[in-house]
Chain A
């Protein structure tokens, strides 16, 4: 059984002028950790709001935990845990007060489901009498996750939970998600960070309201059709322009301190071809290697194809 299904879902804003979600279909299997990967404005939040029954889609059908988002909206509201993107709890209530408030609102108590949140809650327990507004970003997210989990939801919907959180806390957060997955909770999570895609079982790459690909991260990387080269020299920006103007080069973009380059035709001596181009343009300290593509490379390629 699928925990979440979307069929041909479309959503527009401003009376049809802005297309936010464009004919999207995908499924999340029961017990799966599924990632929606895409930049800001890709339509991630709109999808979450449709699934949480906060917005009505213009077209298409969707269900969460077997409940239709329109007909059984109250059942969905009773059975999902939701963490909105801008959710920041009640700043003027303490950690404990926030948690017990949400527990009561969901018709349960902290004690009843303590087992589920114990691992996470233990980390913020020393601050249980601190006001939520005075917590660090990472701790706020942990508390928010506890609040979303307190009623033992069937499906957990997390909209960009790691945005604006430091690297260490992000890593911890994903560890927690893995633990929750082991407890049988289906998790749909969105993130603009491509490096987090590898931590999901399956992902959907989202761009401009459209799904470009749905698969496991490994398969998406495997499907990358080109040989990918990393390149570097003393004048990285000049090298970027030089390679882009070279006729053999298919694409070239900056990636951290390297350039990621693909060639138009598959060449065995691709490395040499690039080196020659760089030398002809007077670059020094040239470094060129074959590298493994990542999700971001696939994403950029797919986006280019979409346009």
Chain B
């Protein structure tokens, strides 16, 4: 008999839960929309950040992995290669690679630059005093790419000057540069994924944690706890409005990037949105976790800002190249969710890769989110203190 009687009771319970969730979400929306300051932070921040980061930062490079494809194999190319090998900026890889292999290596991100000598480089140089060489650099990181190109050009020019007086002739080597993925060397391209990671991090983490802690401060959390509302539902209903707002926010950033900064989105927009939604959930979980351990809005804000924003800025890799960092910092960067999101956005947005190109990063992000969310839900106190 109990089977028959318990079923409708359970159902009624679930209906109440849905209604409660809806009422709570509605309440959160009212609160956010009426709070002008929060709204300003939420939608003003992306605009300001994007404009600020428009001034790209210069970066130094060291030990760049350079692929040299020598199709001429003559005395001149050998001399140039030796010169490059002698410089501290490059670690040279003389593997024989075709153009297609090089392109593949670039896509994987294992190679940042390549130098290609055409098959008749030496012949041209000796006979007509004029030869061409191709430099390819990964333009999705334009600062590094430009530096690489400049160094290589300088070395070639140096060799050219060395050669000329000895033969009494003027030799001319013309480097033909090509930036892969970002032909014009558009600086905005590189920082947009970074700014996206940064903004989503701030908005989701700080605002969620503050809004939960605010309930504790106001004493409304006591009422919510002493109600039929299940404690973890409080967290869920807090997360929903911020998920929606963050996606709206993300759309604003994308529109700004495309129309104000002329960034072309190479990959699938849908994939980009899905990955971003995943990252937003990661940040929300982090925000809920922070709200569990803090008792005042100031502390929550401070932890979100100092504890998360700065590591995001440093370890994501969009401001300071991670390759130049000591191994310990590189290791730290691996546990920062924003780092993986940054890699995903770069691949999808700038390189036009599909899901098969970012599944590993996505999986790592999903793993991190699951851990954070379950810890947040498990730690949510059903009582005070």
Measuring CB to CB, which residues of chain A are less than 8 angstroms from any residue of chain B? 49, 52-56, 73-74, 76-78, 80, 82, 84-93, 97, 100-102, 104-107, 147-148
Contacts and interface: CB of A to CB of B under 8 A. Distances in A.
A289 B16 CA distance: 64
B223 A90 contact: no
B228 to A, nearest CB: 5
Interface residues of B, number: 27
Given A53-B383, A56-B383, A105-B20, A88 B226 contact: no
B31 interface: yes
Given A53-B383, A92-B30, A100 B226 contact: no
Contacts of B218: 86-91
Nearest to B382: A73
A87 B221 CA distance: 9
B220 A90 contact: yes
Interface of B: 16, 19-20, 22-24, 26-27, 30-31, 34-35, 218-220, 222-229, 382-385
A147 B228 contact: no
Contact of A55 (B16, B34, B35, B384): B384
Given A55-B383, A77-B227, A97-B30, A107 B23 contact: no
A82 B30 contact: no
A152 to B, nearest CB: 13
B20 A54 contact: no
A92 B220 CA distance: 13
Given A54-B384, A86-B219, A107-B16, A92 B34 contact: yes
B30 A89 contact: no
A90 B228 contact: no
Given A87-B219, A104-B19, A105-B24, A54 B226 contact: yes
B222 A100 contact: no
B31 A93 contact: yes
A99 B222 CA distance: 16
B31 A92 contact: yes
B24 to A, nearest CB: 7
A123 B327 CA distance: 68
Contacts of B224: 105
Contacts of A148: 223
Given A77-B225, A77-B227, 7 more contacts: A54-B225, A87-B219, A88-B220, A101-B24, A104-B22, A106-B228, A148-B223
A78 B383 contact: no
A93 B27 contact: yes
A90 B383 contact: no
A76 B226 CA distance: 8
Nearest to B12: A107
Nearest to B30: A93
A20 B223 CA distance: 22
Contact of A92 (B24, B35, B228, B382): B35
B220 A55 contact: no
A20 B337 CA distance: 44
Contacts of A90: 27, 31, 218, 220
Nearest to B222: A84
Which interface residue of A73, A90, A100 has the most chain B CB atoms within 10 A? A90
Nearest to A82: B226
A82 B222 contact: yes
A52 B34 CA distance: 32
A74 B385 CA distance: 18
A78 B219 CA distance: 18
Nearest to B381: A54
B25 to A, nearest CB: 11
B274 to A, nearest CB: 32
B132 to A, nearest CB: 68
Nearest to A73: B382
Given A104-B19, A105-B224, A84 B27 contact: no
B23 A105 contact: yes
A91 B27 CA distance: 12
